[in-house]
Amino acid sequence: MDSGEKRGRTAGKAKPPARELPGGLLDSPEHRPDVSFPIVGIGASAGGLAAFEAFFSGMPADAEPDMAFVLVQHLAPDHKSILPELIQRYTRMRVFEVTDGIEVRPNCVYIIPPNRQMAFLHGRLELLRPAEPRGQRLPIDFFFRSLAQNQRERAIGVVLAGTGSDGTLGVRAIKAEGGMVMAQKAGSTEFDGMPCSAIATGLVDWQLLPVEMPAQIIAYARHAFGLLAPLCVEPAPKTQSALKKIFVLMRAHTGHDFSRYKMRSIHRRILRRMSLHQIEALDGYVQYLQQTPQEVDALFADLLIGVTSFFRDPEAFEVVETQIIPQLVADRPEGDAIRVWSPGCSTGEEAYSIAILLQEHMEAVQKRHPVQVFATDIDGRAIATARAGRYPASIAADIAPERLARFFTPEPGGSAYYIINKSIRDLLIFSEQDVCQDPPFSRLDLISCRNLLIYFGGELQQKVVPLFHYALNPRGVLFLGASESIGGFTDLFVALDGKAKLYRRKEDLPGATRRAQDWFLPSRPVRHRSATKAAFPTTMPLRELTEQAILQQIAPAGAMVNGLGDILYLFGRTGAYLEPTPGEAGVNNIIKMARQGLQHELSRSLYEAGVSKAPVRSPGLRVKSNGQFCRVNLSVHPVTTGPVATPQSPLFLIILEEAPALDSDRQNETLAKGGGGAGAGAGAGAGAKVGSGELDAEARLVIVEEELRAKDDFLRNMQEQLATANEELRSSNEEMQSINEELQSSNEELETSREELQSLNEELATVNSELQAKVGDLSQANNDMNNLLAGTGIATVFVDCDLRILRFTPSAAQIINLIPSDLGRPVAHIVANLVGYEAVNFSVLRHD
Write the DSSP string, 585-627.
Answer: --S-BHHHHBPTTTHHHHHHHHHHHHHH-S-EEEEEEEEEETT
C-alpha–C-alpha distance, residues 65 and 700, integer Å: 102
CB atoms within 10 A of CB 386: 27
pTM of the predicted model as reported, rounded to 2 decimal places: 0.54
Residue by residue, what is the 3-state secondary structure of 108-158? EEEECCCCCEEEEECCEEEEECCCCCCCCCCHHHHHHHHHHHHHHHHEEEE
* 8 A C-beta contact, residue 453 and residue 400: no
C-alpha–C-alpha distance, residues 667 and 663, integer Å: 6
* 8 A C-beta contact, residue 376 and residue 448: no
* 8 A C-beta contact, residue 239 and residue 274: no
List, for the chain, all residue ranges whose pLDDT scores fall below the cut of 50.
Answer: 1-33, 228, 230-235, 510-512, 514, 519-539, 675-690, 840, 844, 847-848
Give the containing element (helix H, strand E) for 688: helix 684-792
Q: What is the pLDDT of residues 37-96, one digit of tens each?
A: 889 999 998 778 888 889 998 888 888 888 899 999 888 777 788 888 888 888 889 999
C-alpha–C-alpha distance, residues 273 and 294, integer Å: 12
Q: What is the pLDDT of residues 294-346, one digit of tens each?
A: 888 888 888 886 678 899 889 999 999 999 999 998 878 877 889 999 999 98
Closest by CA position to 761, among listed 135, 51, 165: 135
* 8 A C-beta contact, residue 207 and residue 183: yes
CA-to-CA separations, 508 to 68, 342, 473, 474, 522, in angstroms, rounded: 57, 22, 10, 8, 22
Closest by CA position to 234, among listed 282, 286, 289, 299: 282
Query: What size, in residues, is the chain?
Result: 848
In the DSSP assignment, the letter for residue 396 is G
* 8 A C-beta contact, residue 607 and residue 636: no
CB atoms within 10 A of CB 832: 14
* 8 A C-beta contact, residue 164 and residue 48: no
In the DSSP assignment, the letter for residue 224 is I
